[in-house]
A = this chain, B = another copy of it.
């Protein structure tokens, strides 16, 4: 029973500035000025025009303005992954990053179009700038964006060319914090769980390994695994089945850590009795699982705001620099 706004239109097409101008006997440029609050329009005229516009149900044609002004007031947010169901949930770029971006763009009166990198490469949306979430294993995504010539910023790790603006957490510092935590608990045989092809994860491992140098603790194994609980569970289960012994785990995400804990408990091992586990992200479930998960908190919302600010600066021709945001260890039970 939907009616939409069919093109039958009994003469009720959306009115334009010209319609309002004709109605009032003014020039359409005056309408334009009045509606955009130009100070050169007399207050009374402005009020008259605004009221008439409202009465007639006028709405600005944004495509026309964009065409005329050669800009879009739109930032494209590109998610560097196929839009598959389970991946979206488990990837470490949750909605809070989008929330931060949205908050900042909204405040600046900018629109935000969301695409995947595939779609972006095929039909780049009209936008003044681009925020890329995740760089992917190779630099394909960034390359696709560079091809458009649009200014862009990236969430992730600063492994790309030096001029690129990257915002991300200080993943090395996160790795160091995890190492310190495990060392303070006298853990020596440590496991790292995470896909180090992923730049951020690589940094986490690097910080982790660095901080262990010169101590009696060491990374005895590193397992590439996806950002999911299932992957963490399987990895740990396999190791235990093989008889690998370890007493500490640093996982590249909380989901992985939770999966690891499950696998440990399923084999009768206690966390943190036998094995200590540190996750990454401080995701919502971390405080609720049993044992409560010790983890490295990164502030995505702030990251999102920074991304948005920086891309807007670039769009405005103001320049911007990369930023590694501080992280924090949240010591809970694990």
Query: Contact flags (1/0) for A87-106 with B, using CB distance below 8 Å?
Result: 01110101110111011001
A124 at the A/B interface (Cβ < 8 Å)? yes
| Contacts known (A4-B314, A262-B288, A288-B229); A99 close to B112, Cβ less than 8 A | no
Within the complex, which residue of B2, B7, B79 is in contact with A320, where a contact is CB–CB below 8 Å?
B2
| Contact A88-B99, Cβ < 8 Å, known A2-B165, A5-B151, A162-B1 | yes
- Over the window 62-73 of chain A, the binary record of Cβ atoms lying under 8 Å from chain B Cβ atoms (1 yes, 0 no) is 111011000010
Cα–Cα, bound, A314→B6 (Å) = 10
Alpha-carbon gap, A87 to B320, bound state (A): 29
Contacts of A14 in B (CB 8 A): 149
- Judge if A113 is at the interface, Cβ distance under 8 Å: yes
Please tell me which stretch of A26-34, A114-122, A167-175, A187-195 contacts chain B, meaning at least 4 of its Cβ atoms lie within 8 angstroms of it.
A114-122
Copies of this chain, tallied across the complex: 2
* A268 located at the interface, meaning its Cβ lies under 8 Å from any Cβ of chain B in the complex: no
Compute how far the CA of A79 lies from the CA of B114 in the bound complex, rounded to whole angstroms: 13
Interface residues of A (CB under 8 A from B): 1-7, 14, 57, 59, 61-64, 66-67, 72, 74, 77, 79, 83-85, 88-90, 92, 94-96, 98-100, 102-103, 106, 109, 111-116, 118-119, 123-126, 148-151, 162-163, 165, 229, 255, 258-259, 262, 284-285, 287-290, 301, 314-315, 317, 319-321
Q: A98-B114, A102-B116, A111-B113 are in contact. List 15 more A-B contacts (CB 8 A).
A: A1-B319, A2-B163, A5-B150, A61-B126, A62-B126, A63-B63, A63-B66, A63-B126, A64-B67, A83-B100, A83-B103, A85-B103, A88-B96, A89-B99, A229-B284
